[in-house]
A and B are shown apart, each in its own frame.
Chain A
Amino acid sequence: MDKTYCSYICSGCGIGDALDMEALAEVVTDEMSMECKSHECLCGTEGRALIEKDIADGINTVVIGACSPRVMEAEFDFGDDKITVRANLREQVVWAEVKPEEGEEPHAEAAEYLQETASDYMRMACTRAQKTEPAEPYLLEVINKTIMVMGGGLAGLTAAKESAAAGYNVILVEKDSVLGGKANGWRKSFPTKAPWTDLEDNPIDALIAQVTASDKITVKTGTEVARIAGAPGDFGVSFKSTGTDTEWDAPAKVTTEDADLIAKGELEDPNTGLQPYVEVDPDAVKVGSVVLATGWNPADVSQYEHLGYGTLTNVVTNAEFEKLAKEGKVPANVAFVQSPGGKDNDNDFPYCNSVTSMVALKQAQYVVEDNEDGKAFILYQHMRTPGHMELFYKNAQLNDGIFMTKAAVMQVSENGDQLSVAAEDTLLGEDIVLDVDMVVLAAGMEPTTLNDYSINLAYRQGPEFSDLELFDGYADSHFICFPYETRRTGVYACGGVRKAETMEEAVDDATGAALKAIQCIESVDRGVSVHPRSGDATYPDFFMQRCTQCKRCTEECPFGALDDDEKGTPLPNPTRCRRCGTCMGACPERIIGFTDYNIDLIGSMIKSVEVPEDDDDRLRILVFVCENDAYPALDMAGMRRNGLNHMLRFIPVRCLGSVNMAWIRDALSAGMDGAMLLGCKYGDDYQCHFVKGSEIADKRMENIGDTLSTLGLEPERCATEQVAITDYDKIPQILNDFVEEIVEMGPNPFKGF
């Protein structure tokens, strides 16, 4: 595209009062060779008209020096065919100026400092505009819009039903010979409507009938998914009969080290007899996206020896008890043990969430229903009945035959024909012994992903979800911000595989996952990214001629978007990509980039910052700020007029994972005195929108620290900080402290070289 530029600076919102607008315009015209116009209110009708008139006259690349790019988005949107770059003069310059303490004079050079900062942001914005090219969306030649639902239980059936209702074709795969899954064994289900007190009939049969009657849904029972190859919009699924082995089964992940050992004949190839993961199955069925509803398995409770499961007759799990109740009458005296108990153990059984509490309340009612003088004892450490289910709990409580107490269950033992349950720390004020006919243990719901691949992907990063061990076997997605999503784009989990949940929750869950699957297909159809960069039309471009097959990008991509060929050359799958740029940050050859975000573009922005020499009051410290949380937090700090040191320069990045260490070198070799990465929390409770980005960035920074010390630079000149979006009050402190550290270290000794 032939670009014709014009720059606009706004003097509204206090910008004009704090800055010399003419001098600022001169920086743009003289240094950046761009026309520059000022207006007192660019976002107003008049201001917009000014820009729109220029656009009508042929301007297609607009630089706006005004407020943060996070606000006034609609006002400064001139269409997809125009490039708009915004310099954040308001929140991060004028509003973030350090104000003198009460009664103190402002710094003699305060006005100059502010002017310098604003000038740098205009320089960076103009450079960005010059380096940005318009996005060309990646479009598949053929797109398949069928949704495959794995698992024909309640969640799967619901997802299939909802997807079909939205007009999509569905393939529903169930490994058993019948649909219905675990729900087939339930006698009653929880209340779903006011007054939330009475058990309801199991909805599963009606749901099965609805799904089988739909002409949009193809049901495959007795079938398993051998492998899923390809990418969203173009997945190729190999099916097989349940329990059989085929050459198209998903191959296990082989690490680079393992591959070497296999090649030397020192390790047996785990994938002998299987087709390589890149091989295309000619019989594969094409689907667009996948809903994973493979459900759960009852957790094993035999490890709790004092409870007698497996050794004592009539000690059963809740799932077994439900089956008994479905088949006939339950015993008259039953103890429901909700927690393993023992000394000082207040935990519930693993994987139980709130479900087992409600299951016990339900099953206790069977005891009273089936027996005239039935007695059900619920011994709990926690009674969890979220939302409306509180009313269900209250109602169960009213039942004469249901007895509840918080208790630590110490021992279940045989007592003639009966069982004795000994419990301590009860609400009754003393240790108790209960003589009962049956003991029901509240075994949890283990996701299928805990024990097998479940999803069987033919991906370079392996057939299963990554980092399962971090989340007790649950597929990793940001549970609160991005429910249903997984680390594999186009695969959306719902039901018991996502969370131990009730049937009611599973229905909501499945509906949500179906919508995400639809959203994914439609985004692929338009060639744009899914969440969290929804609608982003750019995608990473690889300059393959210069690739050294180092495999860093294929290894580090948090979403497994990159496969590779035998030599290790990456094979991108743009529809799997979430556009975080972690591959770009990883690439030592700097051959990966986006049209509006690449190594050269950011590198040039860095170089456009003016670095004064021999002036200890004018050090330059570069901060790469994650756009997702840190950047808005920084804006909020500005809105609250929390002062930020004048030596700081911020560059927004898609994710810290996309920060290429070349930029740090660029900054330091340009004479800047320090660099910081400001991004999301990582670790078990990570907040990174791309899951691994900030963690990877932190590792890279450790390594660059080593490089710096070999060069004789203090490794402390580079730092990473983790902040949350709510940390706007802490950010100024973090940044200003870093500046002070750098000031103490003194200027970069390579300045001016």
Chain B
Amino acid sequence: MNVQPDLEFIRSLKEAGGDTLKKCYQCATCSVTCPLSKDGSPFPRKEMIWSQWGLKEKLLADPDVFLCHQCGDCTTNCPRGAKPGDVLGAIRAYAYTFYGWPAPLAKLASSAKGLPMLIGIPVVVIFIMWMISGAMHIPTSEQFADHGYQQFFGHWGFKWYAKNIFFIVLIMVPSLGLGLFSAYKGITKMWKTMAENEGVSTEYRPSAVQFVKEFLWPSLIEIVNHDRFKECTDNRDRVRGHQPLMLAFIGLFIVTCWSLLKNDVIGLIWPSWHGPMLLMDPFKILANVSAVALLFGIAVLWSNRKKAEKEQDTKATFYDWFLIWEITAVGVTGLGAELLRWAGAPTLGYIVYFLHLVSIMMLFLYLPYTKLAHLIYRTTAYSFEKYRESAFAKK
């Protein structure tokens, strides 16, 4: 291997929370203590020297970087204070930007300097849409009580498709689409890089069904159960925050799907299905429970991180905090809008709802570049890990 250290890469890792990476002296205590490290391919010792030497390509093609759950066992036991856990986090942050498409947007989402733009884009887009919709007014209390936020973008006579839904779809579907498309591009690029690096044969490729059945589905089960998270000894508390948060997202995803089905499919046939859900509607209960779980989860993660910064001298990074703030924003504005609807405060309600739309759009749009990208990249790495052990990869 011809080695060409990338000094720029080292500097960005240091800025992204891996400021201690140069301290490592390769004793491999980290690989020994890591509960997730596999015998055949131990980590993070090798990742530490690759990052010290600025070997970007090696790290970007390394699934182990994504298999790390940053539980911090290695960081606690590191005799040199090199914090391998934090370094791997920084590598992941770099990888999301690297695999991100389009690159300018990925770059924008990687630092606090981009924050005004990151918030500005959805604010402007939604505001313009609001203007275009012509519904730019605050409803009366009666209207607000009847329709809630369902006529935020106005109302038209075309009963088959609500104007509000049209606009929301107009905003959110391209956002999510861009996010998903970019994520797809990112993970295919990553998969290819990893496969090439492992020297995996491409001769026998699994069918889509085989892929889902043998690699993706078992990975998802593992992820939902938090099996690997629970292996961690040092930072066990994180499961208490992360699992409710993840389940909340699943719950809210289900509610959103149901809402879409109810309003846009069933509502077409029975117009009475339009309108806000009743409080005792099972889906509404799920939505509210999820919202509370989301806020609870994010609060746990928030305080964990604060504690780590205080006790373990973990570096506060934009990468970590942006996601925490964003999820908090989604939860607070979502629940806030609901509470304000019950309280019958249309002005404040509309403002909070507006912010809720902004935060949702941010979540979708920046999904593949922010820390939220671990959702797709780690899942991919899980699948890849199973794939490389499988008969497909071994000629």
Contacts and interface: CB of A to CB of B under 8 A. Distances in A.
Interface string A80-121: 000000000000000000000000000000000000000000
Contacts of A56: none
Contact of B23 (A375, A397, A427, A434): A397
B3 interface: yes
Contacts of A432: 1-3
Given A400-B11, A401-B7, A429 B46 contact: yes
A431 interface: yes
Interface in A380-439: 394, 397-401, 403, 405-406, 427-435
Nearest to A429: B46
Contacts of A429: 46
B1 A428 contact: yes
Contacts of B11: 400
Interface in A287-301: none
A428 B55 CA distance: 10
Given A375-B5, A375-B7, A400-B11, A428 B23 contact: no
A305 interface: no
A401 B7 CA distance: 7
Nearest to A398: B22
B253 interface: no
B49 interface: yes
Contact of A399 (B4, B5, B22, B26): B22
Contacts of B23: 394, 397-398
Nearest to B80: A394
Contact of B1 (A373, A403, A430): A430
Nearest to B46: A429
A489 B80 CA distance: 48
B49 A405 contact: yes
A400 B6 CA distance: 10
Interface in B47-79: 49-50, 52-53, 55
B49 A427 contact: yes
Contacts of A406: 26
Contacts of A427: 26, 49
Nearest to A420: B2
Contacts of A394: 23, 80
B37 to A, nearest CB: 15
A428 B50 contact: yes
Given A427-B26, A428-B49, A433 B5 contact: no
Nearest to B14: A400
Given A400-B11, A427-B49, A434 B22 contact: no
A400 B11 CA distance: 8
A397 B22 contact: yes
B1 A400 contact: no
A398 B14 CA distance: 11
Interface in B1-46: 1-5, 7, 10-11, 14, 22-23, 25-26, 46
A375 B8 CA distance: 12
Contacts of B1: 428, 430-433
A427 B52 CA distance: 11
A428 B48 CA distance: 10
Contacts of B5: 375, 403
With most chain B CB atoms within 10 A of its CB, the pick from A399, A429, A433 is A429
B22 A400 contact: yes
A428 B7 contact: no
B46 A433 contact: no
Interface centre among B3, B5, B55 (most CB of A within 10 A): B3
A434 B80 CA distance: 27
B2 A403 contact: no
B15 to A, nearest CB: 12
A435 B49 CA distance: 19
Contacts of B49: 405, 427-428
Contacts of B14: 400
Contacts of B80: 394
Q: Which residue among A373, A375, A399, A403 has the maximum number of chain B CB atoms within 10 Å of its CB?
A: A403
Interface centre among B4, B52, B80 (most CB of A within 10 A): B52
B22 A428 contact: no
A429 B2 CA distance: 13
Contacts of A434: 2-3
A406 B22 CA distance: 15
A215 to B, nearest CB: 51
Contact of B3 (A373, A398, A428): A428
Contacts of A403: 5, 52-53
Nearest to B8: A373
Interface string A630-655: 00000000000000000000000000
Interface string B218-248: 0000000000000000000000000000000
Contacts of A431: 1
A656 B23 CA distance: 54
A394 B79 CA distance: 13
Nearest to B24: A397
B86 to A, nearest CB: 15
Interface in B160-181: none
A207 B2 CA distance: 46
B137 to A, nearest CB: 57
A398 B7 CA distance: 13
Nearest to B22: A398
A692 to B, nearest CB: 44
Contact of A400 (B3, B10, B46): B10
A519 B53 CA distance: 53
B216 to A, nearest CB: 30
Contacts of B46: 428-429
A275 B47 CA distance: 70
A429 B25 CA distance: 14
A655 to B, nearest CB: 47
Nearest to B20: A398
Given A403-B52, A428-B53, A428-B55, A373 B2 contact: no
Contacts of B7: 373, 375, 400-401
B304 to A, nearest CB: 28
A434 B4 CA distance: 7
Interface in B253-309: none
A22 B1 CA distance: 89
A430 B57 CA distance: 15
Nearest to B28: A427
A435 B22 contact: no
Contacts of A398: 22-23
B141 to A, nearest CB: 62
Contacts of B25: 397
Contacts of A375: 5, 7
A752 B37 CA distance: 82
A672 B143 CA distance: 127
Nearest to A394: B23
Nearest to A434: B3
Given A399-B22, A405-B49, A428-B55, A433 B3 contact: yes
B50 to A, nearest CB: 7
Contact of B2 (A399, A401, A405, A433): A433
A432 B2 CA distance: 6
B235 to A, nearest CB: 26
A403 B80 CA distance: 17
Nearest to A435: B2
Nearest to B48: A427
Across chains A and B, which 10 residue pairs bring their CB atoms closest together, nearest first? A398-B22, A433-B2, A432-B3, A400-B10, A427-B26, A427-B49, A403-B53, A432-B1, A430-B1, A434-B3
Interface of B: 1-5, 7, 10-11, 14, 22-23, 25-26, 46, 49-50, 52-53, 55, 80
Interface of A: 373, 375, 394, 397-401, 403, 405-406, 427-435
15 contacts: A375-B7, A398-B22, A398-B23, A400-B11, A400-B22, A427-B26, A427-B49, A428-B3, A428-B49, A428-B50, A432-B1, A432-B2, A432-B3, A434-B2, A434-B3
Given A428-B49, A429-B46, 7 more contacts: A397-B23, A400-B22, A427-B49, A428-B1, A428-B46, A433-B2, A433-B3
